[in-house]
Chains A and B, each alone.
Chain A
Amino acid sequence: MNYEDRLQNVTVLGAAGKMGSGILLLTALEMADLGLKPENRSKSFVLNAVDISNDALKGVMKYLRKQVLKAAEKKTVLLRKMYQDREDLIENSDIIHQYVEDVLSIVHPTLRIESAYDSRLIFEAVNENKDLKVKLFSQIDKHNPEDPWFFTNTSSVPIGIIDQEANLGGRILGFHFYNPPAVQKLVELILSDNTLEEVRKFALAYAGKLRKVVVPSNDVAGFIGNGHFMRDALYGIREAERLAKDMPYITAIYLVNKVTQDFLVRPMGIFQLIDYVGIDVVRFIMQVMDPHMKDEELHSPLLDMYVEQGIRGGQNPDGSQKDGFFRYEKGKIAAIYGPYVKKYIPVDEIQETAEERFGEIPGSYIPWKATLKMKDKDAALKAFFDELKTMDTLGAKLAVRYGRRSKEIGEKLVRDNVARSAEDVNTVLLTGFFHAYGPINEYFD
């Protein structure tokens, strides 16, 4: 079966979720483009969008229409060529409209898992629950005569275990998109010991068509991305807990977040990132990873406490941020949650005293955003971190320690054979987390 035949009937499980909807969009565009090729015009392409709520599916179809329109407006030059033989489509607006219809007509939203019984490829983006994944895969595989291939978007469950428990005979791999899949360039590719070579080859071809950067990761729970993020987050939480012995708890949270964003030149602070991903999701990923870790404990009682109090972070369906460690107004931190008083305290109340505590940021500071367009980013970062290292303030010291810890985590991933190389670790952080520099560097030595 060639590439196009494989993509003739595809199912996305969990299609209305944050990751599923992005995977659905990218796959729908790829399938529509294949279907528009003259040699494929007689074939039909079907993409089942399976989820558990009609409302959510309605929402994802709306999202899809909007995003496909945007994509069409961007690639109209190409679309005019693709629709060259359609004499009735003359203006850009005619062509764009037709393309949106053609893409959406491939997608079949449904609550029924049975739709997947005809599919040759299954993308899975349901909850990070191994047993659920195994159950779904077994059921589909049992009823599907096509010997389908399974691409799981898990960011933490070992692929080999799913393969074995669902008895898939190597027709599975981990194809881990980053959030949001339509924007983030990175895909972590994880093979089990049994993954078939033809499945791997197809995955690489598909990733190539989507213009993704593929980083292979070994099948160790958490892989590279979460392998770094979870440990980095735990370090941040522990730093905040340590500081809280000496200052109000919310001040400590504010400080560590500020230091990790500004002093480390990252796109967001560590607690904002946890909110973005979801406090409950981070906690859950740690739970999934923890049993597989020999010499360390991936668990935070602090996160347990937040989740128990119903403070979960994550995003609303419209993409806005839910309350977590912080409450946000127009994307900016407006208040900090105090788990002991169980309410949000306006950030203005503590900002000034907190900022006095950690001292001024060095004059050579460059905001993260400015690094994106810099030609000689490395020199500018080096100058900034060199200055940081000479300073005796709390903020500078915290930042330097944090940078060193991030490097240790990265090196451990290489040492434990999760990543092939330091370069792969850095690529994941640069493209999947949008960091300005990879964790394995010499800035903090």
Chain B
Amino acid sequence: MKLRKKIYMTAGYNTISLGTGRSEFNPKKSRPGIEHYIKEAGQGTLKKIGGAKNIDEGVIGNFMAARFNKQGNLPGFIPYIDEELQWKPCSSVEGACGSGALALVAGMKSVLADTAGTVLTVGVEVQNTVKAIYGADILAGAGWFQKRKNGHAYFFPGQFSDRAGAYYEKYGYERTRKGFARWFRNAIENARLCPTAQEHENKISDLEGLYLSREPNGKFFVDNLTVFDCSKVSDGASALVITSEEGLKKCGIDPQDAVEVVSFAQVERDVTKDPPDLTELTTIKKAVHRALDDAGITIDQLGTIETHDCFSIAGILAVEALGYAKPGEGADFVAAGHTARDGRIPINTTGGLIGWGHPTGATGVHQAVTMWEQLTGKAGEAQIEMPGDRPYGLTINMGGDDVTVVATVYKRG
């Protein structure tokens, strides 16, 4: 979408991504509930913009609190962040793992429509409330329930395992696994640089060796992927504000400390249909090219990307959908290090879904926060250098198996 006025995002905040891998995580002990995460992230953002008085509206992105936490009516938790938010308009949006970006889109549309000047947007998911085998049931809701019966016990790993299998078949197993191994290594190495990442404390030295030492085993998990191909179960929230030029002034924020949204594209595929091609992320392809066209740029002007690597195969296929590699060559492109933080196009610089974590409904907001950090020089140890001739960033958030997709182009404000 070409925007009728300037839209900014700023004041990003991430909680930690809690789950296996974090030393705070103990599956036997009780953990903070969903309200804690909403409050921590929301307050983190409000502190940076001079308080709740500057907020006109709240939007929350979440996938399945109704099942993970037996909790509905999430808009009611926005005033819980700060009493000054009481009586302000709030809403919640859902689009599976794409819920976070849908929340951002809802906020942007409100600012574009002049129904709000500044919108607080929070993405949240708390998933460690059930064992993974039951969590798989809940997450399967991102697909069509009519297909659940014939799906895998681990439904979504099963869907993407089928994609990986088709890719191996077409382009070769060893070659692809090398690309996946490098994807895994990049994810963990980047996560080590980010204190909130789930894999921040991962100390394993030979990550590619570890990855390649394990073969997929369909008896216990899925046929074509191992745990190293998958994002983990995470609890977490992220927040930021969406605002206009006037809104920035009102909040006392220098545009240099904000990112401007240059364009965004929201694309939906029929959830009842199978993907047209298992070896292509067709919806993502449409979304990124629409967003780049609307921004009037090409991939050669992108300095960094945050993409939705719920599984390594989704990362590789996104690289191909973007056009960095021809179909079948995405794995080679990644294996050659081109997507590493010092490569041609650094992707997922704080670890992405595999390294940072994947609190499903929060992920879209987390990606935007990472982009804001990188483009405004606030990424700490994870900071990459943004080349002058490639000042743009891109995020891709996906819900379901390439069903609900939002691609967004940013530059520094």
Contacts and interface: CB of A to CB of B under 8 A. Distances in A.
Given A92-B133, A93-B137, A96-B133, A76 B153 contact: yes
A89 to B, nearest CB: 8
B221 interface: yes
Interface residues of A, number: 12
Nearest to A78: B219
B220 interface: yes
A52 B385 CA distance: 75
Interface residues of chain A: helix, strand, loop or mixed (majority): helix
Contact of B149 (A78, A79, A90): A90
A87 B140 CA distance: 17
Nearest to A76: B153
A73 B131 contact: yes
Contacts of B154: 77
Interface in A39-79: 73, 76-79
Interface string B134-161: 1011001000010011001110000000
A80 interface: yes
Contacts of B221: 77
B149 A92 contact: no
Interface string B275-311: 0000000000000000000000000000000000000
Contact of A91 (B131, B148, B218): B148
- Interface residues of B: mostly helix, strand, loop or mixed? loop
Given A77-B152, A77-B153, A80-B153, A91 B220 contact: no
B182 to A, nearest CB: 24
Contacts of A93: 134, 137
Contacts of B153: 76-77, 79-80, 92
Interface string A80-99: 10000001001111001000
Contacts of B131: 73
Contacts of A76: 133, 153
A92 B153 CA distance: 6
B219 A77 contact: yes
Interface in B82-127: none
Among B133, B148, B219, which residue has the most Cβ atoms of chain A within 10 A?
B133
Nearest to B140: A91
A127 to B, nearest CB: 35
Contacts of B145: 90
A90 B151 CA distance: 9
Contacts of A96: 133
B148 A90 contact: yes
A92 B133 CA distance: 7
A91 B143 CA distance: 13
B136 A92 contact: yes
Nearest to B221: A77
B259 to A, nearest CB: 41
Given A77-B152, A93-B134, 20 more contacts: A73-B131, A73-B133, A76-B133, A76-B153, A77-B154, A77-B218, A77-B219, A78-B219, A79-B153, A80-B152, A87-B149, A90-B145, A90-B148, A90-B149, A91-B137, A91-B140, A91-B148, A92-B137, A92-B153, A93-B137
A-B pairs, top 9 by smallest CB distance, nearest first, are A91-B137, A76-B153, A77-B153, A90-B149, A92-B137, A73-B133, A80-B153, A90-B148, A76-B133
28 contacts: A73-B131, A73-B133, A76-B133, A76-B153, A77-B152, A77-B153, A77-B154, A77-B218, A77-B219, A77-B221, A78-B219, A79-B153, A80-B152, A80-B153, A87-B149, A90-B145, A90-B148, A91-B137, A91-B140, A91-B148, A92-B133, A92-B134, A92-B136, A92-B137, A92-B153, A93-B134, A93-B137, A96-B133
Interface of B: 131, 133-134, 136-137, 140, 145, 148-149, 152-154, 218-221
